[in-house]
């Protein structure tokens, strides 16, 4: 994989790409097929000349995926009292709200 391609990618491109890969996790297969038949996942602007890859619905799916992931991560951390206390203490120390010693 050529990771250099991602260096010039915009936030919208990265979110659209994330949405493309998160599609099976975020959309039920029957809804995905219905939406695809309706053209929901098609890109209106042409990318033939190297224009930005940005597809509105995939971009939204990418954002929703990140929001869901953040909620799951917060649940995992906050649900574990010991880990939550360590993370909270480290965060307060890093912010300068609490001394490290």
Q: Is the pTM of this model over 0.75?
A: no
What are the boundaries of each domain within the chain?
3-95
Distance from C-alpha of 85 to C-alpha of 22, rounded to nearest angstrom: 31
Question: What is the b/e burial string over 46-74, where b = at least 16 CB atoms within 10 angstroms of the residue's CB?
Answer: eeeeeeebbbebbbebbeebeeeeeeeee
Task: Note the pLDDT tens digit of each residue in 38-92.
Answer: 888 877 665 555 667 778 888 899 999 999 888 888 887 777 777 777 777 787 7
What is the distance between the alpha carbons of residues 44 and 17, in angstroms, rounded to a whole number? 16
Q: What is the C-alpha separation between 68 and 53, in angstroms, rounded?
A: 23
Query: Both tokens of residue 10?
Result: 């915009």
Note the pLDDT of residue 63.
Answer: 92
Other CB atoms within 10 A of residue 27 CB: 20
- What is the pLDDT at residue 56? 85
Residue in 24, 22, 10, 61 with CA at minimum distance from that of residue 40: 61
Q: What is the pLDDT of residue 30?
A: 92
Helices (H), the chain: 11-26, 29-37, 56-78, 81-95
């Amino acid at each position: 994989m050529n990771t250099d391609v991602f260096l010039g990618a915009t936030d919208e491109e990265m979110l659209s790409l994330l949405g493309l890969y998160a599609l099976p996790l975020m959309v039920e297969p029957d809804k995905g097929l219905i939406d695809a038949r309706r053209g929901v996942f098609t890109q209106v602007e042409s990318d033939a000349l190297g224009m930005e890859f940005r597809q509105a619905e995939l971009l939204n799916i990418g954002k929703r995926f990140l929001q869901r992931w953040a909620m799951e991560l917060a649940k995992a951390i906050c649900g574990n009292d010991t880990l939550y206390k360590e993370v909270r203490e480290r965060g307060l120390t890093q912010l300068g709200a609490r001394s490290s010693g």
